[in-house]
Structure formats: structure tokens, C-alpha cells
Amino acid sequence: MKYRQAVIEDIEQMSEIRLSVTENILSDPSKVTMTMYEDYLERLGRGWVCEIDNVIVGFVYAAKEDNSIWALFVNKQCESSGIGKRLLQHAVSWLFNLGAQKIVLSTEANTRADLFYGHQGWTRGKIKNGTEVTYSLENPNCA
């Protein structure tokens, strides 16, 4: 497994992973555009990928404007292998190094992602809109 910063050439494979999920499905896939993927590479944040044999199997995006995790997805054949945890660590470290005191995200409630963030030490917030739950992670260096 190789972890590295995402580049524009990775977007097609990242999008394929995003659209293949069985939970946290986009109600309208056209709302997540290629421009958004490009913008979060550097201008609005940063992205990382995990590759196995030159094939992207997972990715994460961190958004610097609101100190959030914009996306974290792993190919279903590679779930439960530690890839998501390691990708999340890249994004969290980057945001904390930029000075974030707290990082936030939201995900679909009662899903594997919901359980995953709790197991990673994130604080579960309230359910909003009946289906979405928020999480936050405090910077241990700002306590």
C-alpha cells in the first residue's frame, strides 16, 4: 500500500470509488462535480489517496476553510484493512498542523462510517435532518 497526496489525474478513480458505495449514497451525484474534486486538491483543501499496484483503493479530502473532512471513501474490496484509518490520519494531521482547534464532519447515521468515526475517537453529535450525524475531533495540542 502506498499513501500519497492526490493529484488531478486521480480524480476519475476517486469518483468511481465515491459512486460505488452502498452507504452514504449521493442522492444527486451531479452535485459533486469534477471541479469540486479539483478545488479540494489544493485551493480549498488537500486530498490523499491509497494505492495498491497503482490502483487507487481509497481517498480522503480535508477542507481548510471550515476544518472539515469533505470526503473519506475506501473501495469495498479493501474495507476493514486500515486504509480509511490511515487516510483519515493524514487529513487530521494536516488540518491540525494548519492550526485547526477542532475538525468536523458529517455522515449518514447508523452506517459503518458512523461506527468508524466513533472508534477513531471522534465525538458524535446530534442527528440532523433525520439521517445525518455530525462528528468532531478536538486538537489535543490546544487543550
Tell me the per-residue pLDDT of 6-62, one tens digit each, with 9 for 90 and over. Answer: 999 998 888 887 766 655 555 555 666 677 777 778 888 999 999 989 999 999 999
Q: What is the pTM of this model?
A: 0.87
Q: Please, what sign has the CA dihedral across residues 55, 6, 76, 96?
A: positive
Pairing of strands 102-108, 132-138: antiparallel
Question: How much is the pLDDT for 128?
Answer: 82
Q: For residue 64, which amino acid is it?
A: K
pLDDT value of residue 131: 85
Report the pLDDT value the prediction gives residue 45, as an integer from 0 to 100.
Answer: 94
- In terms of C-beta density within 10 A (0-12 exposed, 13-18 middle, 19 or more buried), how is residue 78 classed? middle
* Mean pLDDT, the chain, whole residue set: 86
Q: Which domains does the chain have, with CATH numbers?
A: 2-142 (3.40.630.30)
pLDDT given for residue 142 in this prediction: 74
* DSSP string over 77-113: GGTTSSHHHHHHHHHHHHHHHTT-SEEEEEEETTSHH
